[in-house]
Amino acid sequence: MFEDLFNKTFYNNTLSAWLLAGSIVIVFIILGKVTYWLCTKVIKRLTSRTKSKLDDIVLDMVEEPVVLSIVLVGIWYALSTLRIQAHIQDWINRGYYVLIIFNVTWFISRLSDALIQEYAIPWATRTKSDLDDHIIPLLKKSIRITLWAVAVIIAADNAGYDLGTLLAGLGIGGLAFALAAKETLANFIAGITIIADRPFSANQWILVKGYRAKVEEVGIRSTRFRTDKGALVTIPNADLVNTTIENYSEGVGITEETVLPLSYEMDEKQLSFAFELLNEIIRNNPRVANTCAISFDTMTETALIVRFRYYVNPQESHSAVRTEVFLEIYRQFRKHNIKIAKPIRKIEVDGIGRDIILENLMGNNVLD
């Protein structure tokens, strides 16, 4: 009875043949599990004793692809014990070629990612330049994409597709993609230029396109800023490389300049004392750079013109500091009787108009 059952044919193979094939697959799956256990429990202990980390990285990355390879070999061997039609066997062979190519690519991709993570990124963090910090992640993605693109092309060729037609299609598609992504490519190149040239870096305060803002992130495609009003602004890098940028953090600070019209009633000592007061106001304000420029600019008919320039720290609120400084100037000038010139208007009237005004004034005096 059992002999008849085992000898019964299913899809050109007896039940015993199918059971043998299944047993082979199970044995190889178990073999893969044992191999994985040996890698993680035994071989890793041996490699951890070496000074180099390279063997640990290679072992860690090779574990899963090796286990998958063992299982694929088991399935291949199991199928070889069966009688399979020629056209089906041909499709199986092609599928196996594709799986082997993808498995090898998976291993190489994992290994390249691990090597970059272990060696390239720590090296980039120790350098002073920001360029490598942005280039290395981009390089990591580019290597992965290139590896898988090559794997897909080779796999398609082994699967029976015309490689020339496929490459021609990819070329046309690549051209169309390049035309559609022209602006993205321009922003990418501009981002590399900004990172290399470094007109500004993260956490610096700049003036760009009318925004006084703090740089939050310099990206490959665009750069993000946080304005002094709290808004988040994103500007494409291609626009940034073609505009004028004022970097406050690389200078003394944000320039604030004003003109003080002082009265002619002040003598030379009072004028010098006013200069000292202005210097002291700046020195005592922690929100202002400890430097200022005071110049006796000119003398007009009504006032002694003093030009006063100081520098607000970039991280401070410009308008708030300016208000604070002017309030202190107002207090100190009133306290020490430093007089601001008052506007004087002189009106000249000739002829009949002058006589009428005089008569009115005389009339008012009589009435008073």
The structure tokens listed for 166 are: 């496929």
pLDDT digits (tens, 9 = 90+) for 102-128: 888 888 888 888 877 777 767 766 666
Please state the φ and ψ torsions of residue 113, each to the nearest 5 degrees. Answer: -60, -45
36 pLDDT more than 70: yes
pLDDT at 366 over 50: no
Closest CA to 5 of 20, 16, 13, 18: 16
What burial class does residue 55 get, using C-beta atoms within 10 Å of its C-beta: 0-12 exposed, 13-18 middle, 19+ buried?
middle
- Tell me: the pLDDT tens digits for 123-161? 766 666 555 566 677 677 778 888 888 888 888 777 666
* Residue appearing with tokens 């108009």: 353
* pLDDT computed for residue 200 by the predictor: 83
- In angstroms, rounded to a whole number, what is the distance separating the alpha carbons of residues 91 and 69? 19
| CA dihedral over 157, 161, 165, 170, signed as positive or negative | negative
CA–CA separation, 111 and 59 (whole Å): 9
Q: Could you say which architecture CATH assigns to the domain 192-247?
A: Roll (2.30)
User: How far, in Å, CA of 30 to CA of 27, rounded?
Assistant: 5
Question: Helix 54-80 and helix 15-37: axis angle, to 10°?
Answer: 170
Beta strands 304-312 and 205-208: pairing type?
unpaired
Pairing mode, strands 222-227 and 288-299: unpaired
- CA–CA separation, 105 vs 96, rounded Å? 14
Q: Tokens standing for 215?
A: 């740089």
Q: Is 88 helix (H, G, I), strand (E, B) or coil?
A: helix
Q: Which of 41-45, 53-57, 67-71, 250-254 has the lowest mean pLDDT?
A: 53-57
- pLDDT tens track for 69-106: 888 888 888 888 878 777 787 888 888 888 888 888 88
- Express each pLDDT in 281-331 by its tens digit: 888 888 887 778 888 888 888 888 888 888 888 777 777 888 888 899 889
pLDDT in tens, 269-294: 888 899 899 888 888 888 887 778 88
Query: Residue 367: pLDDT band by 50, 70, 90 thresholds?
Result: very low
Residue 347 pLDDT > 70, yes or no?
no
Q: Would you give the distance in Å from CA 251 to the centre of its chain?
A: 23
Strands of 68-208 (E only): list them. 205-208
DSSP state of 289: E
Long-range contacts of 156-163 (CB under 8 A, 24+ apart): 158/94, 158/97, 158/98, 158/101, 159/94, 159/95, 159/97, 159/98, 160/94
Domain positions in the chain are 2-157, 192-247, 254-335
Question: pLDDT at residue 175 above 60?
Answer: no
**Protein fold of 254-335:** Alpha-Beta Plaits (3.30.70)
